[in-house]
């Protein structure tokens, strides 16, 4: 009934690599199957299950993390490509036992229900606010030369890559708006 | 003495865990020696497996086993044929799980699944619902136990005699629940006992099903569901993931975790059946309905009957002397349809509330006024007065808040540049039910209390709502109450479904709290030296409740803009007013209602399961091609409710709010699109290609 099995390890030397990258401020050295995505590295090898797997195809945004400060869908990134790079997942958005203003605003505005898309929403919003601060326009920005203004329409457009089946969207927008206004 | 926790806007108890990523879902618990399962779906629609070649898969590094009908542990043939998995060579629909590969890593399991070779003898299939399908039949009842057909008066005569008549047919496609967390399970067998962490809407029934299938006593099975990433009906009972995982874990004698992929949950875990609905309405010149008929057609599978109660909404919503409803079903070679948020009421209200809009135009009466004229204090179906019916109050308040007054009913009369603007509305209703539950309340020496109940929080806010109810029932500040849910080790409770969770659970919690307070009365200071507990079981009380028509009501309003050149439809705003009994937590209640309304928007404009008849399966089975409403689609969705008191419901006085938000929502939007464009699209979703090229659009 069983084949290849127990003796064949999943970290077969021909198909695995050692990689060192920073996760939430700490350097982590791991040997991973070359096929392992950043999402699975976090969830299955580093016990950081905050980033969620909703589709594994980059279509839902639940796995969004920050890679060198920019938001990426971690299911579309191979972990072995991350040598020397820096990852922040939802677990690293605030210090231990702390909440970032964005996290606190999500609770205050009830910007989630089942909570499964929430880590991705939070990382995406954090990355998005930095993009706005850098003046990056979006598809709904009228004047590409003016500083980006964070209207509700801008927030909705810029957060459109993160699906929420519970449809907490109005509350997500409110939480992001409040956080942006306070910073 | 009430501390007044109920009715206050507390943030969710598990909010901190959810925003810090520490809330653990079904396949996120660390387990020593864990292995990974990957499901293999069938590549044919109907047929028989003739050979399973596992050679390549087993030779692949890390693969431990390929579990299939030829080697899988045996399951008892139970009442749920959908779950009799890996037991027989027969294939009943495309995508049916026919094998599971278990490996030491996720990557190895996935690769192994790719390498399993399965040969089939495939037969002809029928997978498309039509209104003249030769297999149409009349089921014995419709979900869950309503009569299939009803008739009062003489519909044909009443319809023929009326001065105003509407005869229209609406179609809805397959809709797929798509909770953000696909169905997933971690299973561990130890000494004949099974522990599963599973993503479901009710662990009590999942345990019962597993015990039956694996032929072990229910006490030997523990099901934990602390956090569940949505369900919307699709996790209402035990589904394939938990059975496959438990089978695989038993086969390899190691813990297994298995998460179905997004593609794998378009069908086998259930979906909303496509419907074909003919609605006939007749009215006098004043718009008073004289005859109503709703004929609904839907599909089921060849292995289990699921009959969507599509026309049941019409039985109790509006009154008329002559009424008829029917349901017909076809058995197709498809996965069995199942619950999706407001099964029956959701598609049924789309048809009836759209037809009411067509009648309003035909008779020349405002759509809000038409519904007010046809309101009834007596349930037309049961012939008894409703325990409370505040439809008219919802309509009036909604019209006022939305700014409906003085609306020009003329279609295609408002324009803003390229955009044609229109408004529409619909009524809404959903039954208020309760099921038996048990619960335990414990007083502790430190003055705190523990409330235990196997309720499930799938994102509804159940944990927080029960905690508030418990605090009031115990007569203490909620900070002194701890609540435990989501585990079969706790007192049994019904599922989170049918908008009856809070009603059922709070009933048992209130009774347990009352008994506990009686026990504590005699103690000095009311604080025990050791834990003192009280148990409650509401089986007799709920069962003994008189059968009365109990319903929540609502009124939905929508404003859309339609691009006159491209036919693109955008929702400007949506507003709902609901009467749903007591609202335990305004924060989480508002989220539930907005969520339901937005899923109605998604149903009206975005979602559509596209089935390829050649392969008998939905081809757009992912979130890139099956569109669900996104953040950029929701400009303004607002929900309000009336202060409603109904003493004939349950001790907490709640009606349930998980589903009513979607009921009527799609009709309100479709009616608004007609008002904007003059085009009546009667098959959802309203895509731009159904608007462009029509005479009304340029």
Helix and strand counts by DSSP (H, E) for chain A: 5, 5
Q: Considering B518, B543, B568, which residue would you say is the last residue of a domain?
A: B543
Least confident window among B72-81, B109-118, B163-172, B362-371: B72-81
> How many domains does the structure of chain A reveal?
2
Do B572 and B428 fall into the same domain? yes
Chain A contacts in chain B segment 10-69 (CB below 8 A): 11-12, 14-25, 28, 30, 54-55, 57-65
Residue B267 placed within a domain:
no
CA distances from B334 to A23, B300, B368, B611, B619 (A): 45, 7, 40, 10, 14
Q: Evaluate whether residue B132 is within a structural domain.
A: no
Mutate to test the interface with A, among B28, B458, B632 (most CBs of A within 10 A): B632
Beta bridge partners of residue B198, listed in sequence order:
B185
Give me the CATH number covering residue B513.
Answer: 3.30.365.10
Q: How many structural domains compose chain B?
A: 3
- A:B CB pairs within 8 Å: 224
For B523, half-sphere exposure in the C-beta direction (CA atoms, 13 angstrom radius) is 17
Same domain as A146, residue A86: no
Residue A10 has a pLDDT of 46
Interface probe, candidates B630, B638, B662, B665, chain A, greatest A C-beta count within 10 A: B630
pLDDT value at position A148? 81
Instruction: Tell whether B522 and B443 lie within a shared domain.
Output: yes
B484 with B574, same domain: the answer is: no
Confidence (pLDDT) at A8: 40
Tens-place pLDDT, residues B287-344: 999 999 999 999 999 999 999 999 999 999 999 999 999 999 999 999 999 999 999 9
Q: Are residues A88 and A107 in the same domain?
A: no
Same domain flag for A17 and A82: yes
Residue B471 domain flag = yes
Answer whether B275's CB lies under 8 Å from B171's CB.
Answer: yes
Tell whether A115 and A88 lie within a shared domain. Answer: no
B234 touches chain A (CB under 8 A): no
Half-sphere exposure (CA, 13 Å, Cβ side) for B479?
0
Quickly list DSSP for B468-496: HHHHHHHTS-GGGEEEE-SBTTSPP---S
pLDDT for A4: 36
Q: What is the pLDDT of residue B80?
A: 84
Confidence at residue B492, expressed as pLDDT on a 0 to 100 scale:
98
| Residues ≥6 apart with Cβ < 8 Å to B656 | B430, B432, B433, B498, B499, B500, B501, B502, B503, B552, B580, B581
CA of A84, closest CA in chain B: separation in Å?
24
B512 shares its domain with B469: yes
DSSP-derived secondary structure letter, B377? S
Task: Indicate yes or no: CB of B636 within 8 angstroms of CB of A170.
Answer: yes
**A108 and A83 co-located in one domain:** no
Residue B16 pLDDT: 98
Residues A134 and A166 in one domain: yes
Domain assignment of residue B322, yes or no: yes
> Which two tokens mark A1?
């009934």
B516 and B474 belong to one structural domain:
yes
Q: What are phi and psi of B276, to 5 degrees?
A: -125, 120
Residue B696: what pLDDT?
65
Q: Is B672 helix (H, G, I), strand (E, B) or coil?
A: helix
User: What residues have CB less than 8 Å from B426, skipping those under 6 apart?
Assistant: B349, B353, B354, B356, B357, B555, B556, B664, B665, B667, B668, B671
Is A1 within a domain? no
Q: Which residues pair with B195 in a beta bridge?
A: B188, B222
Q: Are residues A148 and A108 in the same domain?
A: yes
The C-alpha of B486 sits at a distance from chain A's nearest C-alpha, in angstroms, of 14
CA dist., res. B155 & res. B32, Å (int): 66
Residue A7 covered by a domain: no
As a whole number, the mean pLDDT across chain B is 97
Q: Are residues B320 and B412 in the same domain?
A: yes
pLDDT value at residue B91: 98
Domain of residue A24: give its range: 12-92
Compute chain A's Rg from CA coordinates.
18
Which band of pLDDT confidence, cut at 50, 70 and 90, is reported for residue B396? Answer: very high
B349: its two tokens: 């209200």
Residue A87 to chain B, least CA–CA distance (Å): 15
Q: Identify the DSSP state of A97.
A: T
d(CA B85, CA B390): 47
Domain membership of residue B129 (yes or no) is no
Give the model confidence (pLDDT) of B257-296 as tens digits: 999 999 999 999 999 999 999 999 999 999 999 999 999 9
Residues of chain A with pLDDT below 50 are 1-10
Task: Choose the final residue of a domain: B239, B261, B283.
Answer: B261
Q: Where among A92, A127, A153 does a domain terminate? A: A92
Spatial distance between the Cα atoms of B416 and B302, rounded to a whole number of angstroms: 51
Domain boundary among A73, A92, A111: A92
Give the phi and the psi of residue B272 in degrees, each rounded to 5.
Answer: -85, 125
- Stretch B473-498: mean pLDDT, rounded? 97
Would you say residue A176 lies in a domain?
yes
Q: What is the dihedral of CA B15, B17, B19, B21, to 10 degrees?
A: -160
> Domain boundary residue among B201, B228, B261?
B261
How high is the pLDDT of residue A7? 39
Name the strand (E) or helix (H) holding B539.
helix B539-543
Handedness of CA B574, A157, A41, B102 (dihedral sign): positive
Q: What would the two tokens of residue B668 be?
A: 């309100």
**Phi/psi of residue B394, nearest 5 degrees:** -65, -45
The 10s digit of each residue's pLDDT in B79-134 is 789 999 999 999 999 999 999 999 999 999 999 999 999 999 999 999 999 999 99
Which string of DSSP letters, residue by residue, matches B46-90?
Answer: SEEEEEEE-HHHHHSTTEEEEEETTTSPP----S-GGG-TTS-SE
User: Do B383 and B314 share a structural domain?
Assistant: yes
The answer on B638 and B572 residing in a single domain is yes
pLDDT in tens, B557-591: 999 999 999 999 999 999 999 999 999 999 999 99
Q: What is the DSSP secondary structure assignment for residue B11, as one 8-state letter?
A: P
Confidence of residue B59 (pLDDT cuts 50, 70, 90): very high
Listed residues A37, A57, A92: the one ending a domain: A92
Q: What share of chain B is helix, strand, coil (3-state, %, to 5)?
A: 25, 25, 45
Q: Which chain B residues are closer than 8 Å to A62 by Cβ?
A: 180
> What's the pLDDT score for residue B295?
98
Range of the domain at B423: 141-146+157-174+272-432+548-690
Assigned domain for A35 exists: yes
- Torsion over CA of A65, A71, A73 and A79, rounded to 10 degrees? -70
- Do residue A23 and residue A81 come from a single domain? yes
Examine the residue annotation and report whether B82 is marked as an active-site residue of this protein.
no
User: Do residues B308 and B368 share a domain?
Assistant: yes
Cα–Cα distance, B588 to B574 (Å, whole number): 19
> Contact at 8 Å (CB) between B298 and B194?
no
Is there a contact between B483 and B468 (Cβ–Cβ < 8 Å)?
no
Give the pLDDT of residue A146: 85
End-to-end CA distance of chain A: 60
Interface of B with A in 79-108 (CB under 8 A): 103-108
Contacts of A149 (CB under 8 A, 6+ apart): none
CA A32 to chain CA centroid, Å, is 20
Residue whose pair of structure tokens reads 């400007």 in the numeric block: B572
Residues A19 and A63 grouped into a single domain: yes
Does B182 reach chain A within 8 Å, measured CB to CB? yes
Give contacts of A115 with chain B, Cβ < 8 Å.
14, 17-19, 23, 227, 229, 459
Contact residues for B163 (Cβ-Cβ < 8 A; gap 6+): B283, B284, B285
Of residues A75 and B524, more confidently modeled: A75
| Residues B590, B593, B598, B600, Cα dihedral to 10° | -170
What backbone phi and psi angles, to 5 degrees, belong to B509?
-65, -40
Same-domain pairing of B428 and B439: no
Query: Mind listing the pLDDT tens digit for each residue in B655-698?
Result: 999 999 999 999 999 999 999 999 999 999 999 999 997 766 65
Q: What backbone phi and psi angles, to 5 degrees, belong to B239? A: -125, 180
Rounded CA-CA distance B316/A28 in Å is 62
Report yes or no on B206 lying in a domain: yes
Residue A46 sits in a domain whose CATH number is: 3.10.20.30
A86 and A126 fall within a common domain:
no
pLDDT tens digits, one per residue of B201-223: 999 999 999 999 999 999 999 99
Residues B562 and B537 in one domain: no
Q: How far apart are CA B426 and CA B237, in angstroms?
A: 31
Q: How many whole angstroms separate alpha carbon B27 and alpha carbon A151?
A: 38
Residue entry with tokens 């731009």: B688
CB contact under 8 A, A3 and B71: no
Residues A113 and A170 in one domain: yes
Report the CATH number at residue A161: 1.10.150.120
Please judge whether A114 and B179 are an interchain contact, meaning their C-beta atoms are less than 8 angstroms apart. yes
The DSSP secondary-structure symbol of B389 reads -
DSSP classification of residue B531: -
DSSP B154-184: -HHHHHHH-SEEEEEEEEE-BB----SS--E
Q: Which residues pair with B133 in a beta bridge?
A: none
Residue A144 maps to a domain: yes
Mutation for testing the A interface, residue in B8, B16, B19 having most A CBs under 10 Å = B19
Cross-chain Cβ contact B632/A90 below 8 Å: no
Return the percentage of chain B with pLDDT > 90, whole number: 97
Complete edge-to-edge strand list for the sheet that includes strand B47-53:
B90-91, B47-53, B117-122
Residue B391 has pLDDT above 60, yes or no: yes
Q: Is the ipTM of this complex over 0.90?
A: yes
- Examine the domain organization and report whether B456 and B421 are in the same domain: no
Distance CA B480, CA B471 (A): 8
Asked whether the whole model's pTM tops 0.90, one would answer: yes
In a domain, A60, yes or no: yes
Q: Do A129 and A161 fall within a single domain?
A: yes
């Amino acid at each position: 009934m069983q084949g290849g099995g127990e003796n064949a390890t999943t970290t077969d030397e021909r198909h695995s690599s050692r990689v060192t990258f920073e996760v939430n401020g700490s350097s982590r050295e791991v040997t991973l199957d070359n096929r392992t995505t950043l999402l699975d590295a976090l969830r299955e090898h580093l016990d950081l299950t905050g980033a969620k797997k909703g589709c594994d195809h980059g279509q839902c945004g639940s796995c969004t993390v920050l890679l060198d400060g920019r938001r990426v869908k971690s299911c579309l990134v191979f972990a072995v490509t991350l040598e020397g790079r820096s990852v922040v997942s939802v677990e690293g958005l605030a210090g231990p036992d702390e909440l970032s203003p964005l996290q606190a605003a999500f609770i205050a505005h009830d910007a989630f229900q089942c909570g499964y898309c929430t880590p991705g929403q939070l990382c995406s919003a954090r990355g998005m606010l930095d993009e706005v601060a850098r003046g990056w326009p979006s598809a709904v920005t009228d004047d590409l030369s003016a500083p980006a203004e964070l209207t509700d329409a801008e927030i909705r457009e810029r957060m459109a890559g993160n699906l929420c089946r519970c449809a907490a969207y109005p509350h997500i927008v409110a939480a992001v708006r409040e956080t942006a206004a306070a910073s | 003495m009430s501390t007044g926790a109920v009715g206050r806007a507390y943030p969710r108890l598990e909010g901190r865990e959810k925003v810090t990523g520490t809330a653990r879902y079904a396949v996120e618990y660390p387990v020593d020696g864990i292995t990974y399962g990957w499901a293999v779906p069938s590549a044919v629609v109907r047929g028989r497996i003739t050979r399973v070649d596992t050679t390549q898969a087993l030779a692949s590094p890390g693969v431990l086993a390929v579990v299939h009908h030829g080697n899988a542990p045996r399951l008892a043939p139970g009442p749920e044929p959908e779950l009799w998995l890996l037991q027989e060579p027969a294939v009943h629909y495309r995508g049916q799980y026919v094998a599971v590969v278990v490996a030491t890593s996720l990557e190895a399991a996935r690769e192994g699944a790719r390498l399993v070779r399965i040969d089939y003898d495939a037969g002809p299939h029928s997978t498309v619902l039509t209104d003249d399908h030769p297999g149409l039949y009349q089921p014995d009842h419709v979900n869950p136990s309503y009569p299939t057909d009803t008739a009062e008066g003489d519909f044909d005569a009443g319809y023929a005699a009326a001065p105003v008549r509407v005869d229209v047919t609406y179609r809805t496609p397959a809709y797929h629940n798509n909770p953000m967390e696909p169905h997933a399970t971690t299973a561990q067998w130890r000494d004949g006992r099974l522990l599963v962490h599973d993503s479901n809407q009710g662990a009590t029934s999942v345990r019962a099903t597993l015990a039956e299938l694996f032929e072990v006593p229910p006490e030997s099975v523990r099901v934990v569901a602390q956090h569940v990433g949505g369900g919307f009906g699709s996790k209402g009972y035990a589904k394939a993931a938990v059975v496959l995982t438990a089978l695989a874990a038993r086969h390899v004698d190691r813990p297994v975790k298995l998460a179905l992929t997004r593609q794998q949950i378009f069908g086998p875990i259930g979906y909303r059946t496509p419907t074909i609905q003919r609605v006939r309405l007749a009215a006098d010149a004043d718009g008073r309905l004289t005859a109503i008929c709703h004929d609904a057609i839907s599909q089921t599978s060849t292995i289990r009957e699921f009959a969507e109660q599509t026309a049941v909404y019409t039985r109790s919503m509006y009154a008329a002397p002559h009424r008829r409803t029917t349901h017909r079903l076809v058995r197709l070679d498809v996965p069995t349809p199942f619950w999706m948020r407001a099964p029956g009421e959701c598609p049924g209200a789309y048809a009836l509330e759209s037809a009411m809009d067509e009648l309003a135009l035909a008779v020349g009466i405002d759509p809000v006024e038409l519904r007010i004229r046809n309101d009834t204090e007596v349930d037309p179906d049961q012939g008894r007065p409703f325990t409370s019916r505040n439809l008219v109050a919802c309509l009036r308040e909604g019209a006022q808040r939305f700014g409906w007054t003085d609306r020009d009913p003329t279609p295609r009369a408002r324009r803003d540049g390229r955009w044609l603007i229109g408004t529409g509305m619909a009524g809404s209703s959903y039954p208020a039910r309760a099921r038996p539950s048990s619960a335990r309340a414990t007083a502790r020496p430190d003055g705190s209390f523990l409330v235990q109940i196997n309720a499930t929080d799938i994102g509804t806010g159940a944990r927080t709502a029960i905690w508030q109810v418990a605090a009031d029932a115990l007569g203490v500040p909620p900070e002194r109450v701890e609540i435990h849910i989501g585990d079969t080790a706790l007192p049994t409770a019904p599922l989170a479904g049918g908008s009856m969770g809070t009603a059922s659970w709070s009933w048992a919690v209130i009774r347990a709290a009352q008994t506990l307070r009686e026990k504590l009365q005699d103690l000095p200071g009311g604080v025990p030296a050791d834990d003192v507990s009280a148990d409650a079981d509401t089986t007799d009380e709920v069962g003994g409740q008189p059968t009365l028509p109990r319903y929540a009501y609502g009124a939905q309003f929508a404003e859309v803009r339609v691009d006159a050149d491209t036919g693109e439809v955008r929702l400007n705003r949506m507003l709902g007013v609901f009467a749903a009994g007591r609202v335990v937590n305004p924060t989480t209640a508002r989220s539930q209602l907005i969520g339901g309304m937005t899923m109605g928007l998604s149903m009206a404009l975005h979602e559509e399961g596209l089935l390829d008849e050649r392969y008998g399966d939905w081809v757009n089975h992912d979130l890139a091609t099956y569109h669900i409403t996104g953040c950029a689609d929701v400009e303004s969705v607002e929900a309000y409710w009336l202060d409603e008191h109904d003493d004939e419901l349950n001790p907490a006085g709640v009606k349930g709010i998980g589903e009513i938000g979607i009921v009527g929502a799609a009709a309100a939007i479709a009616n608004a699109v007609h008002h904007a464009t003059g085009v009546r699209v009667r098959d959802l979703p309203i895509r731009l290609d159904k608007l462009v090229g029509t005479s009304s659009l340029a």
